Amino acid sequence: MLHARAFKATVVWTLALLWLGSVVHATESSLACPDWPTCFGTMVPEMTGGVFWEHLHRLVAGGLLLMWGLATWLARKETTDRPWIFKACIAGVVLLLVQSLFGGLTVIYRLPDLVSTTHLALALSFLALATVLASATAKEVTVELPTTHDDGTRLWAVTAAALVFAQSVLGALVRHTDAGLACVDFPLCLGRVVPPLVNAPITVHFAHRLLAVIVAVVVLAFVARSYRVRAPERLRRWAVVAAILVVAQVALGVASVVTRLAVLPVSLHTLVAASLLAVLVHVSTIAETTQASRPSPVPVAVG
């Protein structure tokens, strides 16, 4: 099952790449290399200052392409019984190439807001795809995901994952429109529960906070529900991980404002958001298999 290991390694690699991308922006190194795909006309620039972070980000992105190529090759050899996996791998190749192109456009056109935000959205989409494949090919999952009995766990996980994805993209818009400090106080925003939405930065920042509350409530409700309906143990374990991550994510969001966008909380804020997305996608992928494998209740005779 080498392809399964390659998929798992890709998920970890992608998370590291997302963290590096956040560090690049937080350290204002996004244009440290003013050209693309080279850096000051070379592929081996002097790795100092902002160039270190920006070029390292590019090198790690290149490594991700190579790793995914290996995973795709292995999947073609080892998953002949499940052709959808190889097709998903090809979709991942296309997604990575398009995402790389947007990374180049980000530099060439000097960080346009929508291009930079799309760059992150594509990275998160690839993370979700890689997580699906890693989950579906895990050792305990050896058959095609069925579409049979489900107690609603998967729907809750998918909903939560979609909200986290939307929140992360909105967070990218906050970052790239320099709206991170549009509200410099917490828990209020400009001293009010609902601030005057007089410009785009305040509106985007407040929307990000509002959606964060919704995401936290939905994720925590999902965790509580997984225990209430007695979901399988492994699903409950991952649900608890999601709860821990969402609490940490909120705390890091507050810390980002309080510390005036210090590099550490800001970069960890992105990493934890991506990790939360991966966990919820993982749960949604394995939920149907787990639910389908649960034994049916044994009828009890009465009288």
- Summarize pLDDT for 160-219 with one digit per residue, the tens: 999 999 999 999 999 999 999 999 999 999 999 999 999 999 999 999 999 999 999 999
- Rounded to two decimals, the pTM is 0.91
Mean pLDDT (whole number) for 17-26: 96
Give DSSP secondary structure letters for 30-98: TTSS-SSSSBTTBSS----HHHHHHHHHHHHHHHHHHHHHHHHHHHHHH-TT-HHHHHHHHHHHHHHHH
Per-residue model confidence as pLDDT tens digits over 230-253: 888 999 999 999 999 999 999 999
- Collect all residues with Cβ–Cβ distance below 8 Å to 92 and sequence separation of at least 6: 68, 72, 126, 129, 130, 133
